Amino acid sequence: MADVSVVKKNEATAEPTQWKGLGMPLFRGSIFNMNPFALMRQFTEEMDRTFGAMRTAPSGALWSPAIEVTQKNGSLIVTAELPGLNKDDIKVAVTDDALTLEGERKQEKEEKREGYYHSERSYGKFYRAIALPEGAKADQAAAEFKEGLLTITVPVPEQKQKQRQVPVK
């Protein structure tokens, strides 16, 4: 076995934990004494601080609403959460092989008080395409929008699933 030389350095002579040339500490405190959760939280904070400006989406940027797709009782049911929109802001199209949702949200907030004025605007377009199973009856599709929840129902034929046993070795 090879001999390994171990040299103990005191805190005053130890090299600082920092990025070369930047003078920024990589970690606050000693990495070996930190709780792993505190280390992850600190790492997340540093990433948020570093890339925070990139997270702010420019006007007209895409956003993706939450969508749930289920199949029951001979229908494919697509539910999309679209808070703050009305039915005129949404376009739904169905082809033989896909269902597409698109629209745009516009939010404007303005607050005026004595000696205080705050205005905030955000805009975002969305486009989602969901593949339809073979044999879907696109001409019988129906859509309902209620309280920010869009529900689209497309009749699909019941498909018998072929099942085969796979031996485990």
- 81 vs 104: CA distance, rounded Å: 13
Q: Is the pLDDT higher at 47 or at 101? A: 101
- 38 vs 58: CA distance, rounded Å: 32
pTM: 0.54
Domain boundaries, position 43: 14-56
Task: Give residue 167's pLDDT band: very low, low, confident or very high (50, 70, 90).
Answer: very high
Q: Where are the alpha helices (DSSP H) in the chain?
A: 36-55
State the amino acid at position 145 in one-letter form.
F
pLDDT at residue 87, rounded to an integer? 87
Q: 129 pairs with which residues across the strands?
A: 100
What total of structural domains would you count in the chain?
A: 2
**Residue 164, domain member (yes or no):** no
pLDDT tens by residue, 103-152: 988 878 889 988 899 888 877 888 888 888 888 888 999 999 998 899 99
pLDDT at residue 42, rounded to an integer? 77
My answer on whether 41 and 71 are in the same domain is: no
pLDDT tens by residue, 68-85: 999 888 899 999 998 888
Q: What angle do CA 130, 157, 164 make, to 5 degrees?
A: 90
My answer on whether 49 and 90 are in the same domain is: no
